[in-house]
Structure 1
Amino acid sequence: MSLWDWAVAAYERPGVADACLDLQDAHGQNTCFLLWAVWSGAADAGLLERAAEAAQLWESEVLGPLRQVRRALKASTPPLAEAAREALREEVKAAELKVEQALLEALGRLVPARRSENPLQALQAAAKAWGEPPPDEALARLADALSVAQLYAPKPSAHHGASTPRNAAMLDDTADEPEPALRARLAALKQEHADLDTAVQAMAAVPLPDLLAIGRLKRKKLQLKDEIARIEDLLTPDIIA
C-alpha cells in the first residue's frame, strides 16, 4: 500500500481526523509530515530534518495559502453567487488534496515504509524535527487513534502459511468449501476486481477527481486481491521442496 493510500485510510478512522486537525490548527503541525513519520518509522534525525524542511516549504508556499482560501470560501462572499462560491470552494479543496497527495508521494520516496511499532515515539521525533513540539497529550491522541486502527502494525509474512488472525479466519471460512464453489467465488471476485479497476480509471479521468472516493475503491481492490490470492492458494496444492 502506498503512503497516500495508507494516509487516506488512516484519516478516515475514528479519532484520527480530529487529532490531526488539532495538531494542525492549534499547534502548527503538518498532517502529511506526521503521518509519513508513522508510516515510515523514520528515526534518523538528519532524515527527519530534511523531510521537515521539505514539508515546511510546501506548507508555507502552497498548502497553507490553499487552506486559507478554502476556509474563506465557506462563508458567503458577495457579490459571488452561492452556487458559484461553493463550486469554487470545491475546486480549491480538490487542488488542496492533490497538493497533499503530491507531498505525501514525495515524502514516501525518501524511505521505504516500515510502519512504526511505536506511533507516539515516531510522532514525538517528527514534531521535534518540525519545530516547537506540541504537548505530548496532543500527539498521544493521534497515536492512540492510529494504534486502535492498527494501521501501523508490521506487515504479515509473505509466506503462504503465514497470515494475520483476520486472514486466518477468512481461510477457515472457505477451506471446507467444495472446489466448484471455490472456483465460482474466485471468478466472481476477479470480475468484481476488474469492475472496480474500470471505475477507478473512469473517476481518475474527470477534471476534478474525488480522491477520497478513489482511495476507498483502491482499498476495496486490495481487499479483493487478498481474498483472490487466498482462494487461489486453496485451489493450488502446496509444493514440498
Structure 2
Amino acid sequence: MNKSMGSHSNRNLTPLWPWALALYARPGVQEALLQLQDEAGLDVCELLWGLWLLAHGRAPDAEADKQLSPIRQWQQHYTQTLRQLRRDLKPQAVGQPELEQMRTHIKQAELLGEREALRRLEALSSSLMSVPEPPDEKLLHPITGALSTGHQYLISHLRLESENMAPPSC
C-alpha cells in the first residue's frame, strides 16, 4: 500500500548528486545513459533521479509531468543548449588547443546545469509516494514512457547497477 511521504523530510535520503556520480562511474552506466539519451530522447538527470528514488523506495507519480515541467524547461533552455554547443564544437576543436579549451569550459557549464537540474529534482522528492517492496523499473514509466525492448534492457541494467551500489544511508 502506498503512503504519502509528505510528512517525512529528505534527511533520510542520501544526497542525489554524489549518488548519481557514483552510479555514473559504474561499469556500463555512462554508455547506457547516453544511449538512452541519444536514441530514446530520455533525460539523463531524470533517469538518475528515478533510479535514486527507487533505491529509496519511492517513485515518480502520475503528476510527474506537471512537476517536472519547470525542470524540463531548465534542461531544454540551458543544459541541452550547452550540450549541443559542445558537440558542435568537437570536430572543430581537434588539434586546436584554444577551441578545445573553450569546449572544456562549455562542458563544465553543461555539468553545472545538470547539477542544478538534479538539485531541483531532489527538491521534489519529499512530496513523492513510497512504493511497496521491491520497487521495480516499471515505476519509472512516468519519466521514461514506453520504450523498445533494447531500451528496456538498458533500464534494467541501470537498475541492477544502482542496486549493486552500497545501500543508501539513512
TM-score by length of 1: 0.55
What is the alpha-carbon distance in structure 1 between the residues aligned to residue 139 and residue 166 of structure 2? Answer: 13
Partner SS state of residue 111, structure 2: helix
Give the CA RMSD over aligned residues.
2.8
What is the alpha-carbon distance in structure 1 between the residues aligned to residue 72 and residue 44 of structure 2? Answer: 11
Q: Aligned-pair distance for 1:15?
A: 1.5
42 and 145 in structure 1: CA distance in 2 versus 1, 3 angstrom threshold? closer
CA contact (8 A) 2:59 2:139 kept: yes
1:127 maps to what in 2? Answer: 144
What is the alpha-carbon distance in structure 1 between the residues aligned to residue 79 and residue 102 of structure 2? Answer: 17
Q: Aligned-pair distance for 1:136?
A: 4.2
CA contact (8 A) 1:67 1:96 kept: yes
1:27 aligns with 2:44: no
> Identity percentage over the alignment?
30
Which amino acid in structure 2 is aligned with residue 82 of structure 1? Q
Partner SS state of residue 137, structure 2: helix
Q: Aligned-pair distance for 1:145?
A: 3.2
1:5 aligns with 2:18: yes
2:4 maps to what in 1? Answer: none
What is the alpha-carbon distance in structure 1 between the residues aligned to residue 155 and residue 69 of structure 2? Answer: 22
CA contact (8 A) 2:23 2:161 kept: no
TM-score by length of 2: 0.75
CA contact (8 A) 2:93 2:100 kept: no
What is the alpha-carbon distance in structure 2 between the residues aligned to residue 19 and residue 153 of structure 1? Answer: 20
- The structure with higher relative contact order (CA 8 Å, sep 6+) is 2
